[in-house]
Structure 1
Amino acid sequence: MKELAYYDGTIGTPEELTVPFNDRVHFFGDGVYDASVGGNHKVYLLEDHLDRFYSSAKALDIKIPMEKKELGELLTRLLSMVEGETHFVYWQVTRGAGARNHTYGDDMTGKLWVMIRPNKLNDPDVPIKLITREDTRFYHCNIKTLNLIPSVIASQKAKEAGTDETIFHRGDIVTECAHSNVSILKGGVFYSHPNDTMILRGISKTHMISACYRLGIAVIERPFTLSELMDADEIIVTSSSNFCLHANQIDGKPVGGKDPVSLSRIQNEVISEYLSYTGKNSLFD
């Protein structure tokens, strides 16, 4: 199978599957999701992603229809059914199906969705371009919900500007990107916004911080400003499918490029963890 879709126990292609009209996702975006890379038919950092997935569902009182171990086994089995060596693995749970009403019953069981398709990882040696935008999203960014319209709009604005991603800020404080985390290197120190309600706790960012500790690179988790962002030695953007990208432009102004040695060390360490975990020989095969 080249691309797989799963809904509530049924497996097929995305074109074959149908979803009940009354699934609450259609009316409220009422659900949570997670996603990772599949390499050599292994879901990368599966346990980390499952932990976040179940935490997000619990925060919204959504009942996932299976235990964590069973879901991990299901994702692994579904991934084995898809052709190729590198994949995008996405799963979500909605609150369930029922007549449209803002309130819901205690007996409602979640509906599980899975989508797996071929994926290609971006080259971390190729710099990306960024823009900035005031962060006016809701104040529960730590929950990975399906209500992504603000992020969709910000991503579209970045595309229209000919850039790759949007950095959000609240006032002068940098938070995160539309669908990534952003951190900086300055004076040999790695700075990153703390894991509070203003950002989603990025699993890739968390593992990058661990990589810094292994490399002996000092880490400070505190809010940093737009001025610090623009003056940083390196600007690093991470997500589950882009482990350690770096920026060379923000709002049309050149940035970064001042500490390529530290950047390369972090990139190599993060990539090595991925290759070791998946058993792959290369980031791109």
Structure 2
Amino acid sequence: MTTVYLNGEFKPLSTASINILDRGFIFGDGVYEVIPIFNRIIFCFDEHMNRLENSLEAIFMDNPYTSNQWRSIFEELIDTIEESEQSIYLQITRGVSERDHDIKIADKPTIFVMSRPIEKKNFSVGINAITHEDIRWQYCDIKAITLLPSVLLRHKAREQGAKEAILIRDGYITEGAASNVFVCKNDEVLTPLKSKHVLPGITRDLVIEILANNKITYLETTISEKDLLNADEVWITSSTWEIVPVTQLNNLPVGTGETGALWQRVDQLYQEFKSVYCE
């Protein structure tokens, strides 16, 4: 039996339900977080809580709980699952109101949390990706539940035998449909600057920290589509996929078409960091 948290109660998933007029259902009016659990330890808890706070502030909502309250909820859910590697899904909507765009008429948020095992995937040989116009809205730095563009982009990637779509806006990379992007050229690691069009990825920031601590040359900068297509290596990052090498892009090899030496080094450093963090 899967246990979830909904509006102050732990209950079976099969009995959890929300009001049909919840603004998350009607308008997609809410935010979310996905937080990995490794060895039953919440990974980068503070960083995820900070991003949640920023997302809530951006949509004019208050955080309903303190960090300690969130941690207590997460830990109780983690204990209901046998697997040691899990992912927490947390969603906060503005709550129930009549169907009206006015946000002031909703005064009680809907709070939902669940945890589930992370499906183990071996991406060590690399994945295929495509490029696509960035069709999303102008506030991609908010981790909003309105994910239809990303759903469509992932579907288009799958139709072409790929796992991810790397997005291009005005000739420059923003990010993946559900990931951040790194490009390597001549032993230098590049990643797009944070902006309204780039989600501040927790794994992205951790990779940058690892690069800096190990004196690996990196730069946060604009990256053109041409630079992407001519890269020696391309990686995507996310909380549950971690660091994934892209070895085929638009059905053409990236670099040699094999996983690169820089990815192998950085992935090893990341795994070492994770092991120490989650001891």
TM over 0.5: yes
CA deviations 1:209-239 (Å, max 9, x no partner) are 1111112111110010111111111101000
Look up the equivalent residue of 1:98 and give its one-letter code: S
Asked if structure 2 preserves the Cα contact closer than 8 Å seen for 1:6 and 1:113, the reply is yes
1:226 aligns with 2:195: no
Aligned equivalents of 1:273 and 1:242: distance in 2?
16
How do 1:112-131 residues align onto structure 2 when only pairs under 5 Å count? 112-131=111-130
* Alignment-derived partner of residue 4 in structure 2: 5
Aligned equivalents of 2:88 and 2:276: distance in 1?
19
Q: Secondary structure at the match of 1:141?
A: coil
Asked if structure 1 preserves the Cα contact closer than 8 Å seen for 2:175 and 2:181, the reply is yes
Asked if structure 2 preserves the Cα contact closer than 8 Å seen for 1:64 and 1:110, the reply is no
* Alignment-derived partner of residue 65 in structure 1: 64
Q: Secondary structure at the match of 1:105?
A: helix
1:269 aligns with 2:275: no
Shift of the alpha carbon at 1:107? 6.8
Shift of the alpha carbon at 1:137? 1.1
Q: Secondary structure at the match of 2:149?
A: helix
How do 1:37-186 residues align onto structure 2 when only pairs under 5 Å count? 37-105=36-104, 108-186=107-185
Asked if structure 1 preserves the Cα contact closer than 8 Å seen for 2:182 and 2:192, the reply is yes
**TM superposition score normalised by structure 1:** 0.93
Shift of the alpha carbon at 1:16? 1.9
Asked if structure 2 preserves the Cα contact closer than 8 Å seen for 1:121 and 1:241, the reply is no
* Alignment-derived partner of residue 26 in structure 1: 25
* Alignment-derived partner of residue 278 in structure 2: 278
Please give the root-mean-square deviation of Cα atoms over the aligned residues, in Å: 1.6
Moved over 2 A (4+): 104-107, 120-124, 256-261
Percent identity (aligned): 28
* Alignment-derived partner of residue 282 in structure 1: none
Aligned equivalents of 1:249 and 1:141: distance in 2?
26
Shift of the alpha carbon at 1:41? 1.8
Q: Secondary structure at the match of 1:175?
A: strand
CA deviations 1:79-129 (Å, max 9, x no partner) are 122221111211011011121111032771322110111113433422100
Aligned equivalents of 1:195 and 1:151: distance in 2?
19
Aligned equivalents of 1:175 and 1:107: distance in 2?
33
Asked if structure 2 preserves the Cα contact closer than 8 Å seen for 1:4 and 1:12, the reply is yes
Look up the equivalent residue of 2:235 and give its one-letter code: I
Q: Secondary structure at the match of 1:98?
A: coil
**TM superposition score normalised by structure 2:** 0.95
Q: Structure 2 regions of 5+ residues with no counterpart?
A: none
Asked if structure 1 preserves the Cα contact closer than 8 Å seen for 2:184 and 2:190, the reply is yes
Asked if structure 2 preserves the Cα contact closer than 8 Å seen for 1:133 and 1:166, the reply is yes
Look up the equivalent residue of 1:133 and give its one-letter code: H
* Alignment-derived partner of residue 260 in structure 1: 260
Question: Residues 13 and 126 from structure 1, CA distance in 2 versus in 1: closer, same or farther, beyond 3 angstroms?
Answer: farther
Asked if structure 2 preserves the Cα contact closer than 8 Å seen for 1:50 and 1:72, the reply is no
Shift of the alpha carbon at 1:259? 7.7
Q: Secondary structure at the match of 1:224?
A: coil
CA deviations 1:60-83 (Å, max 9, x no partner) are 012332122211222122212222
Q: Structure 1 regions of 5+ residues with no counterpart?
A: 280-285
Shift of the alpha carbon at 1:154? 0.4
Q: How many residue pairs get matched? A: 278
